[in-house]
Chain A
C-alpha cells in the first residue's frame, strides 16, 4: 500500500542532504546524470561560444585504417582530435587495461597539428601506454568496435537501407572507449597548466571534448566502411539514427580508486549537486513554466528508462525497482498540487519516504533539469586545483581532532575490524600494465604487502586507536612525530572535517563491497547513462546518446536531449 506523506514542513527544514545519507555506496551507485554532469557543461559552452567544427583530414583507406583530424575552432584557440583507425583481429580485441591493440586510438591536440605532429603521433598514439605524447597533447584515448552492431549497420548501409532502430537501441553505440587518459599521463600536458582556460574550468572538460569528437569520427568511419563495401548502392546513416548513437565506455577498477584518492574533488562535485537540489527545494512558488518543463521531463525520462537494458542480475533488480517506483512517482506527480508552498521540497520528501534510491536519485536529476538559471553557475565550483597538496594542520589539538573524527567517521569506528569479512579485500596494482585489482587478502598470498591506501574507514579506526591514548591537550604535530604511519589519514580527516562530502561513508574493503557503485558515481558526473554492469567490478555505459552532433549543436538543442522527446522504437 502507498504510504501517506506528512506535508507539514517548514522552510527551515530544507537544507542540503547530510553526507551520512548521500555518501553511502548504495546511493552513490544509484546516481544519474544531471545538468551538472561534465558533458552537459561542455555542450552548453560549445554552443554558447559558437565553437566551429571542421573535419580537416580523413585519410582512411579501403581496409578502414588510416588517419583523421577534426578541429574545434574557439574564439582564441583550437583543439583537434587526431584519430588513428586500425585493422585488428578479433583475438586482439580486449577492453582490459592489459590490451595492446585497439580498433581506433586518439589524442586531443592543443591547436591544429602539422604534418610532422601527425607523423610523430602516429608513431606513439597507437601504442597507447607504451608510447609517449608531449605537452602539445591533452588526452590519450582508444576505442573498440561493438563488432556485432558495426557489421550489421555497415551491411545495411552498404545495401542502401537504414538499419533497424531496435538493433541500434540494443547496444546504443558503434565504438566504446576503454580509456581516456588526461592530466599529464604518458607525457601529456598537466591539468594545472591548462586549468586557467575558461573552457577547462569545470572538471574533465578535455576528456569530454575528446569523447564528443570521437563520436563524430566513428560515424564518419562507419559510413566510410559502408561506402567501401558497396560504392554504388551505399547510403548515409539517417540523421536521427546518427544522434541516437552515443559513444560507449568500458570502465573497470581503475576508476574506483580515483574517487577515494581525490576527496576534495569528490566533495566539490557532490556539494554542487546538493546545493543545486537545496536551492530548488527552497523555492516557495516556482514559475509555472519550470513546473511544466519538469512534468515534460518526467514523461520523457520513461523513454530513457525503457531503453535501458542490462543482463547483470544486480542491475536487472535495480531496473525492476526503478520502473515500479517511477510508475508510483508518475502517479503522485499527476495528482500533485504544485501550487502548495515549496512543492519540490514536498515532492522530494515524499520520494525519500516512499521510493528506492534509484528512483530518488532519478528524481533529483529531474528536479534540477528545468532550473538551469538557478544551478548552472555551480559548475564553476566543481574543480579542485589544489589536488594532492592539502596541508596538515599540525597545531590542531588532539581533543578537537578526536571529537571531529567521531562526528565524521562514526560509521568506521563502529565496524569490528577484527572480523575478517569486514577486512577481506585489498586494493592493489599489478605489475601487468599496472592494472588496478581487488583481491582477497586471506586467499591471495602476499597481496597485503602491495595494498593501496583505499580503505579510509579502517585506517581511521587504526589511527583513532593510537590517538585516543594521547593527552587531548597535545598537538597533532606531536602525535605525527611518533606515528608517521598515520600521516595520510590525518590529512584526509582534516580535509573531511571541512568538506563533509569528501568521504564515502562505507567500508571499501568489506566482503560485501560492490566496486561498480564507485564507478557509477563518477560516471554519472561524467554524464553517462545506461549503466550496464558486466560484473561487480566493471561496467559499460553510454555517453552523448541522443545528443546533437557537432554539425547541428546549438543553444536550442544543447541541453534538451538527455531525455528523448519520443519513444525511440
Chain B
C-alpha cells in the first residue's frame, strides 16, 4: 500500500506507542523514520526492527539530538542500537540550510545535507559503539531524489498494525454510548 507521509507518521507513532514507547519518544522516532523513508531507506523494515528492540535501548539514542552531540562533538562512544535511526533523528533536528554533516557509523559513512540522507540504504548494523561527526566534508555530494509516498507491503503493514491496534480501546456497547452523537437520531 502507498501511504501518504501523514499516514506513515501516524502508523509509526501508533505502533511505537503500542510497543510502549513514551509519547514524546514516539513523536521523534516517527519523524526520524519519515526522514529515512522519503530518502528511500527501507523505513518500514527499520520500524519493525525498532519494534523488536527493547524500548530503553532506543531511548538512549535520543540524547544525541537532545545534547546536540552531533554539533559539538567529533566522536561519541556508547552502545547505540538501531544506529540508522540516528541519521533520521539528526536530519530532522538540523536546520535545512546548515552545511553538510558527515556521520560515520563505525565504518559506514553517511552525508546529511538539505534534508537529504546520502549513503548505503541497505545498511543493517544492529549496534555500533562509536559514532563520528565531521562538519568539514570534502566529499562530492550527489543529489538524490526524495519520494512523496511510502510503499509498504501488506504483510509488513499487518505486522506493524498489530502494534498500533494496541492503542485502541476495545469496542463495547457502553463505550459506543459515550461517542459523540449517540444521543439522538439523525433523520431530522
Residues in chain A within 8 A of chain B (CB atoms): 90, 93-98, 132, 134-135, 144, 146-148, 183-193, 250-254, 388-389, 391-392, 394-395, 428-432, 434-435, 437-439, 444, 446-447, 449-450, 453, 475-477, 480-481, 484-491, 515, 534-535, 537-538
- The reply to whether A96 and B7 form a contact with Cβ atoms under 8 Å apart is no
Interface magnitude class on chain B: 35 or more
Return the CB mask of B16-34 against A: 1 if under 8 Å, else 0. 0000001111011011000
**B135, CB-defined interface residue at 8 Å:** no
Taken together as a complex, chains A and B put the C-alpha atoms of A191 and B148 apart, in Å, by: 11
**B175, CB-defined interface residue at 8 Å:** yes
Residues in chain B within 8 A of chain A (CB atoms): 1-7, 9, 22-25, 27-28, 30-31, 59-60, 62-63, 65-68, 92-93, 148-149, 165, 167-171, 174-176, 178-184, 186-188
Taken together as a complex, chains A and B put the C-alpha atoms of A430 and B178 apart, in Å, by: 10
Taken together as a complex, chains A and B put the C-alpha atoms of A434 and B7 apart, in Å, by: 14
- The reply to whether B186 and A93 form a contact with Cβ atoms under 8 Å apart is yes
- The reply to whether B179 and A96 form a contact with Cβ atoms under 8 Å apart is yes
- The reply to whether B25 and A484 form a contact with Cβ atoms under 8 Å apart is yes
A sample of 16 inter-chain contacts (CB < 8 A) reads: A96-B179, A97-B179, A186-B7, A187-B4, A252-B179, A252-B180, A394-B65, A431-B169, A431-B170, A432-B171, A446-B169, A450-B169, A476-B66, A477-B66, A477-B68, A485-B24
Contact partners of B179 in chain A: CB under 8 A: 96-98, 252-253, 430, 435, 437
- The reply to whether A487 and B186 form a contact with Cβ atoms under 8 Å apart is no
Taken together as a complex, chains A and B put the C-alpha atoms of A446 and B165 apart, in Å, by: 15
From residue A430, how far is it (CB to closest CB) to chain B in Å?
Answer: 5
5 closest A-B pairs by beta carbon, nearest first, are A487-B24, A252-B180, A184-B6, A184-B4, A394-B66
Contact partners of B93 in chain A: CB under 8 A: 391
- The reply to whether B149 and A487 form a contact with Cβ atoms under 8 Å apart is no
- Please judge, given known A-B contacts A252-B179, A394-B66, whether A484 and B59 are in contact too, CB under 8 Å: yes
Taken together as a complex, chains A and B put the C-alpha atoms of A447 and B71 apart, in Å, by: 42
- The reply to whether A491 and B7 form a contact with Cβ atoms under 8 Å apart is no
Taken together as a complex, chains A and B put the C-alpha atoms of A446 and B175 apart, in Å, by: 12
From residue B167, how far is it (CB to closest CB) to chain A in Å?
Answer: 6
Taken together as a complex, chains A and B put the C-alpha atoms of A534 and B174 apart, in Å, by: 19
Partner of A487, one of B9, B23, B67: B23
What is the chain B residue whose CB lies nearest that of A476?
Answer: B66
Partner of A431, one of B23, B25, B168, B184: B168
Contact partners of A94 in chain B: CB under 8 A: 181, 186
Which of B1, B30, B149 has the most CB atoms of chain A within a 10 A radius of its CB?
B149
Taken together as a complex, chains A and B put the C-alpha atoms of A189 and B4 apart, in Å, by: 7
- Please judge, given known A-B contacts A94-B181, A430-B169, A447-B169, whether A491 and B4 are in contact too, CB under 8 Å: no
- Please judge, given known A-B contacts A187-B7, A431-B165, A450-B169, whether A253 and B180 are in contact too, CB under 8 Å: yes
A-B contacts besides A184-B7, A388-B31, A437-B178, 20 pairs, CB < 8 Å: A96-B180, A144-B186, A185-B7, A188-B4, A251-B180, A252-B181, A388-B9, A388-B30, A392-B24, A392-B65, A428-B169, A430-B170, A431-B170, A444-B174, A444-B175, A450-B169, A487-B24, A534-B181, A535-B181, A535-B183
Contact partners of B174 in chain A: CB under 8 A: 444
Contact partners of A484 in chain B: CB under 8 A: 22, 24-25, 59, 62
Which of A134, A185, A388 has the most CB atoms of chain B within a 10 A radius of its CB?
A388
From residue A253, how far is it (CB to closest CB) to chain B in Å?
Answer: 5
- The reply to whether B168 and A429 form a contact with Cβ atoms under 8 Å apart is yes
- The reply to whether A388 and B27 form a contact with Cβ atoms under 8 Å apart is yes
